[in-house]
Chain A
Amino acid sequence: DSGVTQTPKHLITATGQRVTLRCSPRSGDLSVYWYQQSLDQGLQFLIQYYNGEERAKGNILERFSAQQFPDLHSELNLSSLELGDSALYFCASSVVGRGDSTDTQYFGPGTRLTVL
């Protein structure tokens, strides 16, 4: 157990719908990262938040958005869902995530999204 929690574990929805994935980082970690894992694209970085502020963006679609709340949990919102959005969505957290040294990222168990 990494200490990072994600809910829900599984999500099945229809095309065009909107879903929210939730992540709670390890106690004391300030940075949260979202990654998407699909069969053909591997693990892809979506977005990073540090202490409530957006820190970096990767290959995140405009239909996707995220935020980090004052208690440091994060939510990833996916809207106008398409079949191709079906994937495993992982959240990871690290102590800092800025500065001169990159610190270890610990991954949550993931949310498996199926779009029908």
Chain B
Amino acid sequence: GENVEQHPSTLSVQEGDSAVIKCTYSDSASNYFPWYKQELGKRPQLIIDIRSNVGEKKDQRIAVTLNKTAKHFSLHITETQPEDSAVYFCAASSNQAGTALIFGKGTTLSVSS
């Protein structure tokens, strides 16, 4: 089955810096890659997603890139703000048997002002 690896597990940046989180997946049939942000004790919230027919997607300060050949995808946050501090999860879905999301272990992002 699918396996998703996420790095780094923790990331500390200064306000205004960029943050990059990387994920790799194992199942070449995976075709959907969402990113979720989770604040302490809250639900995971979708912040951006990308499908396998697209190489890059941007939404204001957030961008995601996908390299299908290498089976990795990355989240880029520019001009980080303290409110960006949270746990970020990448996920992959292959649509082979159901459409469940297989999540990475998460990255705790801390943005200090």
Interface membership of B54, Cβ < 8 A: no
Using C-beta atoms within 8 Å of the partner chain, give the interface range for chain B: 20 to 34
Contact at B104–A101, with CB atoms within 8 Å? no
Contact at A45–B100, with CB atoms within 8 Å? yes
> Known contacts A43-B89, A106-B46; is A48 also within 8 Å of B99 by CB?
yes
| Contact residues in A for B36 (Cβ distance below 8 Å) | 107
Binary flags per residue of B31-50, CB closer than 8 Å to A gives 1, else 0: 11010100000111110010
Highest count of chain A CB atoms <10 Å: which of B46, B99, B104? B99
Contact at B97–A102, with CB atoms within 8 Å? no
A109 to B, closest residue via Cβ: B43
* Distance in angstroms between the alpha carbons of A24 and B33 in the assembled complex: 25
Interface residue ranges, B against A (CB under 8 Å): 31-32, 34, 36, 42-46, 49, 51, 89, 91, 93, 95, 97-106
